[in-house]
Structure 1
Amino acid sequence: MVPDVPINDEDYASMLGELKEIRRAGLVKLRTLRVPVLQRTAAARTSNGSVEELIRHAVCRLDEGTLRAAAEYTLGLAQGTRDWPGADRRRRAAEIYGVSIERFRKDQELMLLGQVAEAIDGLGEEAAGDRWDLGTTHRVVPVAVRGRTVPVTVHVHPVDLLRDVDVVVAPTNVFFALPEPYKSSVSASLRRAGAVRGVTGDILEDRIRDELRAWVARQGALGRPVPAGTVAATGAGALTGQGIRRVYHAAVAVPRGGTNDYDVQPADVTRAATRALAILAEEEHEFGPPLRSVCFTLLGAGRGGLPYRTSIGALWAAVEADLARGARWDVHFVVRNPSAAALLTRLATRIRPKADPTPTG
């Protein structure tokens, strides 16, 4: 392996172009393609300098589900698809998302190739020693902010396993319509964990959903969208038994008409995080003991399609600004993917997540 070199924004954009070319031509023609950034990166980050191995490792880092499955078909990594024409691979990937081929080409395909590039960049962080120990679920990262050191706790586990954090900031859409509790999103997990159940497991009270609906009704916003970046504060339902006292619902996802997709803008993530911290300051002394700790999920990094580093960068802009003004919050982040956790550990070295040039819709 040759010495590794960090991927800068120019290389990142070039890498995306090279991934698009591989998607078009297929792995069977990889040797004939000119992909200098991927070749250089593979030489530094794989044992044999193989571009295909680099891409496979990156795709394996993606969250399981539609994203990884669609990426495997798009790039010909799924079993039996190596020699499929690009059109057939694109058609199968579009079926996974349940959208038309043209919609997939213009939206999800760009998003997932960006996620693959993000994962390739993450392989460099592992090589540089930022690899997250898979046996570790918590790590305290000391971060320098305006002349003082602030401990930031990073959790790697499902959000409903959080304990003893006063406030959880969770993403939702601009209609404040929570997903069904059987789904796998952050909001669905919190709704499920916050419900009061009977001895047979049946839901007796859907407390988080009911409180959120009441909040929306008080604002006169039933059935209509609120501005992106709006935050609604509710109780935590049964999660109070785990030491969680409030859930702040951050409306960052804007539904795209006629589809099951959402648009999320990084500026709205920053705006929502700023508002959440302002609400925390307003509510702090309304509780006994006062609210002191807040945990952010990666707003917009799920169905919203934001790369991890884009979401982290947007969140940290708000958190750092509040801490720099003297706020003394106990700050936490909770993620499911170790690569996202590795990005968060880079806050300690003042390496900021780069802006991502990939269109996300």
Structure 2
Amino acid sequence: MPPPPTHDQLVADLKNLRERGLTRLRDTRLDALETAVALYRHDGPAPDARPPVEPYRPAAVEELLRQAIVELGGGKLSTAAGFTFGLAAGARDWTVGERRKSAASIYGVSTERFRKHHEQLIVDQTAEAVLRLCMPAAAPRAPRAADVPPSPAVIRLGRVTLDYMPVEMIKGVDAIVSSENVYLEASKIFRNSLSAALRRACAETTGTGEIVDDVVQRGLADWMRDHGRPGLPVAPGTVATTSPGRLRASGVRRIYHAAVAVPVGDGNEYELSPEAVARAVHNTVQLAQRERPPLRSIALPLFGAGRGGLDAAESLSWVWSAVERELDADPSWDMHLIARSPATAQTIIRHFSP
């Protein structure tokens, strides 16, 4: 087997690929990535000298890059990397400028700021992920495509649909549900949580990313004031409604905020209960039925599987138990489960696999 490429060599190849795009992969010489492919597939060393066209394996390089993005662990970094390298749905033939603009929007920054800072981080971290995948003594690999498909993906799993993607990429779902604490305080906008991602995605911004209307924060404050609860907790399982803001363009009609997390101690940890999750799911369905016209599709997270510290499989058992009751009562509901990370997606896929 050949020695693994260096990090700097991979960075150089990834920058080259970023500029040229996937449609020119066949006639782009990327020796470091070619060597990484050989190690990743354990199929022997690549030739020392290769012409720039025919020996190249575009499909194998693309597979390696997709797995490297899975290895990044989901969230904004993975999503922006998908756009940066043209692996996001529909972005394959985009120019580097179009891909850069979409990736910058994930972070809510200008294209120029993204190019100078975030893009360098993405290339660097993707190179690290490639090294982890092709090192002979690496830790267990990220799940292969047979277990977890590349994100974004929409997968029908019996009575539910899995939306394996960052929440801001979900389209055509009437209502998206966010997991909140019982004070109905949205997560700080810079955090890596579902609540924060929805807050960013709904916010109205200028072309440079400046927020001019924090739609979710404003909506929750209005809801608490209208219900006489400013500064006070609500009952676990309570669900508040806010506008989808910019997500309206993706077909989303409502954001539902389910108060399921009860702060304990100094507030850095939370407790959840299956009863609160069941009430939240039921209350969400009731709210959706009362909309005019009624909502029919709802995307739910695995409550508590993030900062709540709950194991994803346990959270799924709570959520699915509640969802199944609603589907038994009315099979016409179009219920979705949200997964941002490969591990969560794999948990859901395995649960519903025959």
Equivalences for residues 194-343 of structure 1 within 5 A: 194-283=202-291, 286-287=292-293, 290-343=294-347
Unpaired runs of 5+ in structure 2?
A: 1-69, 76-139
Identity %, equivalent residues: 37
Using the TM superposition, give the Cα deviation of residue 329 of structure 1 relative to its aligned residue in structure 2, in angstroms.
1.2
Q: Is the 8 A contact 2:157 2:353 kept in 1?
A: no
Equivalences for residues 70-81 of structure 1 within 5 A: none
Distance 1:139 1:276 in 2: 22
SS of the residue corresponding to residue 294 of structure 1 reads strand
Q: 1:327 to 1:216 in 2, by over 3 A?
A: farther
Q: 1:132 to 1:346 in 2, by over 3 A?
A: same
Q: Is the 8 A contact 1:232 1:248 kept in 2?
A: yes
| Residues 1:161 and 2:169 aligned together | yes
Partner of 1:91: none
| Residues 1:131 and 2:139 aligned together | no
SS of the residue corresponding to residue 344 of structure 2 reads helix
Deviations 1:60-102 (A, max 9, x none): 999689xxxxxxxxxxxxxxxxxxxxxxxxxxxxxxxxxxxxx
Partner of 1:190: 198
- 1 or 2 for the larger relative contact order (CA 8 Å, sep ≥6)? 1
Using the TM superposition, give the Cα deviation of residue 207 of structure 1 relative to its aligned residue in structure 2, in angstroms.
1.2
What RMSD over aligned residues (CA atoms) do the two structures have, in Å? Answer: 2.5
Distance 1:130 1:347 in 2: 15
Q: Is the 8 A contact 2:74 2:166 kept in 1?
A: no
Using the TM superposition, give the Cα deviation of residue 299 of structure 1 relative to its aligned residue in structure 2, in angstroms.
1.1
Count of aligned residue pairs for this structure pair: 219
Deviations 1:152-207 (A, max 9, x none): 21122111111111100110000001122111110111011101112322111111
Distance 1:136 1:158 in 2: 8
Q: 1:273 to 1:239 in 2, by over 3 A?
A: same
Q: Is the 8 A contact 1:130 1:346 kept in 2?
A: no
Using the TM superposition, give the Cα deviation of residue 278 of structure 1 relative to its aligned residue in structure 2, in angstroms.
1.5
Unpaired runs of 5+ in structure 1?
A: 1-59, 66-122, 143-149, 351-361
SS of the residue corresponding to residue 216 of structure 1 reads helix
**TM-score w.r.t. length of structure 2:** 0.57
Using the TM superposition, give the Cα deviation of residue 130 of structure 1 relative to its aligned residue in structure 2, in angstroms.
7.5
Using the TM superposition, give the Cα deviation of residue 266 of structure 1 relative to its aligned residue in structure 2, in angstroms.
2.5
Distance 1:327 1:187 in 2: 28
SS of the residue corresponding to residue 168 of structure 1 reads strand
Deviations 1:264-302 (A, max 9, x none): 22221122111111111122xx13xx4221101111111
Distance 2:227 2:246 in 1: 25
